[in-house]
Structure formats: C-alpha cells, structure tokens
Amino acid sequence: MKISKLTSIGINIKANKSNKKASVNFYSLNAITNTGKEIQFEKYRNKKILIVNLASQCGYTPQYAELEQLHQQNKNIIILGFPSNNFGAQEPGSDEEIALFCKVNYGVTFHLFKKDDVSGKNKQPVYQWLSDETKNGWNNEEPKWNFYKYLVDENGNLLNVFPSSVSPLDIPL
C-alpha cells in the first residue's frame, strides 16, 4: 500500500519532508543483540532498514509473523526488532524468553536486540536517534505504542514513521 493510500484511510504517516541533514550518522550507531553481541550499524549500509519496537503480549503481536514474512521475501530490507516493556508492561520476559517466544510462535529469524527502553529519558541510543530531530534531521516522535515502525533508507536517512496499526506488509519499500 502506498503512503497516500494509507493516509487516505486515516492512518497518520510521518514522512521526511525537510531538507535538513541528520547531525548524527545512522551508521555510527550500534546496539546489543539479545545474545549480548554488539552490532555496528555500518554493516547495514546500502540496505533499507525497518526498526520496530516489539512486545509479546500486545494486540499487535501477530505482526511478528508479518515482519518475518517481509524478512524472508524481501532481501533488500533489514528488520531490526527492539523488545521493550514501555507500553502496558506487555513485554515482561527476559531476552532469552523473548527469543524463545519469537522462534516458537512466529519462526523469527530477523535481528532481535536486547530488551530496553524505547521511550522516555532512559531510551536506548538507537531510539534517541530515531526520535530526536537534532540527530536524525526531522523527527521528534517517540513510539506511541508497541510495534511502532521507523523506515531508514539505503543512505542512513530516516524516511518514514509508521504507527502500530500499519502492517509491515503495507509499508511502501
């Protein structure tokens, strides 16, 4: 579904309409996987990246299957999943429990990162970048709920922000 189609049915999509440049390079970021390995985002250069905050006890949890489908069907996009317990305490499990839940229930093979805050004053560095226009060039919006999505282009620019209600399969790539 194109963005214009999504907005025409009342879904609020934020898109980068500014000419401002990000002051912090996306590829300078890193994050810790759910197994404790540090990943440098430089490895994702020249790929589109969909960043999603996750929770396993949310009404949107079935989107895990859609994210995995997108991951399997489109090798031009990297899915980065960040479990968080920020919204409704819907991700109470440990990193090991979350990984097992994702594998058993949804066959998840896309990248899962360490459970951490994605909103508020203690949010982890990737979400600091995603929600601070002085860093990413245009967006100040934190996730409003679980399964909020941020699309980064092949050059490390934040392109769009999608609310939880948008299926990963409807995001125009």
Place of tokens 């203690």: 122
User: What six digits make up the tokens of 2?
Assistant: 């194109």
* Contact status, residue 138 vs residue 16, Cβ threshold 8 Å: yes
58, 98, 102, 171: which is the annotated catalytic residue? Answer: 58
User: What six digits make up the tokens of 57?
Assistant: 């006890």
Q: Centre a 10 Å sphere on the Cβ of residue 120 and count the other Cβ atoms it contains.
A: 9
Say how far apart CA 140 and CA 134 lie, in whole Å. 9
Place of tokens 């899962």: 112
Is 102 annotated in the active site? no
As beta bridge partners, residue 54 has: 83
Short-list 55, 74, 26, CA closest to 146: 55
Say how far apart CA 152 and CA 155 lie, in whole Å. 8
Q: How far, in Å, are 24, 26, 100, 136 from residue 156 at the CA level?
A: 10, 5, 31, 9
Residues taking part in catalysis: 58
